[in-house]
Structure 1
């Protein structure tokens, strides 16, 4: 399994935990969904940044 996939799986677990806690705290659904969407975007951006291979130097 690639490190990109592991990074995204970890982000999904974190987001799931935060959504569960927000539900227990009776946070309105639109805020939960909005926060989850933002975190998914940040997770994808972070995963791409951390796992991207460096471009070879040009000659």
Structure 2
């Protein structure tokens, strides 16, 4: 099982615990649903960032990631 899967399973358990706690406190189901969706998005973004592999440069070091934006003028 990949580290991404393990991270997401743990985050789903965390979200489930928070949602159940909010239910026991009497929070409206709409707010619980919105909170679950937001936390799931945060979990997906953080799992992707934490488990992303680094690019290895030809000399064996970790390459710096750069973004280049090109603009086509008509």
TM-score range, shorter chain: over 0.9
DSSP 3-state at the match of 2:44: helix
Listed as ranges, the gaps of 5+ residues in structure 2 are 59-74
Matched residue count: 59
Alignment pair present for 1:14 and 2:14: yes
User: Residue deviations 1:4-58, cap 9 Å, x none?
Assistant: 0000000000000001000000100111000000000000000000000012337
- TM-score normalised by the chain length of structure 2: 0.74
Listed as ranges, the gaps of 5+ residues in structure 1 are none
User: Which has the larger Rg?
Assistant: 2
- Between 1 and 2, higher relative CO (CA 8 Å, sep ≥ 6) is seen in 1
Residue in 1 that maps onto 2:50: 50
Residue in 2 that maps onto 1:29: 29
Per residue, is there more helix in 1 or in 2? 1
Q: Decide which moves more: 33-42 or 48-57.
A: 48-57
Query: 4+ runs of 1 displaced by more than 3 Å?
Result: none
